[in-house]
Amino acid sequence: MNVSKALSERKSVRAFLNKAVERELIETILNNASHAPSGTNTQPWQVAVVSGQNKIDLQQKLEAEFRSGNKGKMDYQYYPLEWDSPYKDRRRACGLQMYTTLDIQREDKQKQLDQWAKNYRAFDAPVMLFFFIDPVMEKGSYLDYGMFLQSVMLAAVEQGLATCPQAALAEYPEIVKQQLGYAEDSVLICGMALGYEDKDALVNSYRTPREPAASFTRFFD
């Protein structure tokens, strides 16, 4: 598979088959992704791979916390505090596209809540990945981390696997760190669902649009 094909095939999958992912396959993906660049080769990524009973225990705690009404608080500010266009418009369109596909009406708050709660189960994927970074690292290392995360997702596509990068899995960092034994001051960047896509699931039938390069690029000849 070439890079262009992997880039176009990668998407955020929200329904997975009940099919285990072999540990050796995960190790291959992470070893390939480890070639991602980082400033002065710091390689700031730390990855927790969670499956089996550990995943069941952790997702139950996360979903219960969400359903209790606690919105949680990530270790860093992921989204802007105030949204401006065009970002807020794209954000709304993204949510509307999913709920329209699933025929979930705006007034049906329970169905919306149930759909969102699936985030905390990693959409029932067999594997949850959690990505940590040491608190001493600064913004440049977060940029490096983004390149590593994309590398993980592209490497997964090559292996016939699907992913969904998730900020939601980092909304309750205290629960995750306690369950997995990470230091309290470590920074939980995000999580990721990993598994085999359920291609018959309605939620996986749509694709979010992308702006053409001409809309965000300026050439200076």
The model's pLDDT over 63-92, given as tens digits with 9 standing for 90+, comes to 999 999 999 999 999 999 999 999 999 999
Predicted pLDDT at 169: 98
Return the structure tokens found at 185: 């001051």
- Domain presence at residue 149: yes
Overall domain count for the chain: 1
DSSP line for 71-86: ----SS--S-SS--TT
Among the residue ranges 1-5, 9-13, 15-19, 179-183, the one predicted with the least confidence is 1-5
136 pLDDT above the threshold of 90: yes
- Domain presence at residue 215: no
> 13: pLDDT confidence band, cut at 50, 70 and 90?
very high
- Domain presence at residue 103: no
1 pLDDT above the threshold of 80: no
106 pLDDT above the threshold of 90: no
Predicted pLDDT at 34: 98
Return the structure tokens found at 202: 């309605």
- Domain presence at residue 17: yes
- Domain presence at residue 214: no
- Domain containing residue 140: 3-77+119-206
Query: Rounded to whole angstroms, how far apart are CA atoms 28 and 85?
Result: 40
- Domain presence at residue 55: yes
Query: Rounded to whole angstroms, how far apart are CA atoms 198 and 59?
Result: 20
- Domain presence at residue 50: yes
- Domain presence at residue 97: no
Query: CATH number, domain at 18?
Result: 3.40.109.10
Residues near 153 by Cβ (< 8 Å), separated by ≥ 6? 10, 163, 165, 192
Predicted pLDDT at 170: 98
Its pTM stands at: 0.96
Return the structure tokens found at 81: 């505090």
